[in-house]
Copies of this chain bind each other. A is one copy, B any other.
Amino acid sequence: MVYQVDLNCDMGESFGRYKLSEQKDILTYVSSANIACGFHAGDPTVMRETVQLALENGVKIGAHPGLPDLNGFGRREMAITAQQAYDMVIYQIGALHAFLTTYNAQMQHVKPHGALYNMAAKDKELAAAIAQAVNDFSTNLVLYALSGSELAKAGEKIGLTTAHEVFADRTYQSDGSLTSRNENNAFITNREQAVSQVIRMVTESKVISTQKNAVPLKADTICIHGDGKHALEFAAYITDAFQKHNIRISPV
Contacts A17-B20, A94-B96, A101-B137 aside, 15 further interface pairs with beta carbons under 8 A come to A15-B18, A15-B70, A16-B70, A16-B73, A44-B88, A45-B87, A47-B87, A47-B91, A69-B78, A76-B79, A90-B99, A92-B95, A94-B94, A95-B98, A101-B136
A-B contact pairs, 6 of them (CB 8 A): A17-B20, A68-B69, A79-B115, A91-B95, A91-B98, A97-B97
- Indicate how many identical chains form the complex: 4
The A107-150 residues at the B interface (CB cut-off 8 A) are 115, 133, 136-138
- Specify the main secondary structure of chain A where it touches its partner: helix
Give the number of residues in A that approach B within 8 Å (Cβ atoms). Answer: 44
Q: Given the interface contacts A15-B18, A45-B83, A83-B45, does A38 sit within 8 Å of B77 by beta carbon?
A: no
The A59-74 residues at the B interface (CB cut-off 8 A) are 68-73
Q: Is the CB of B90 within 8 A of A102?
A: yes
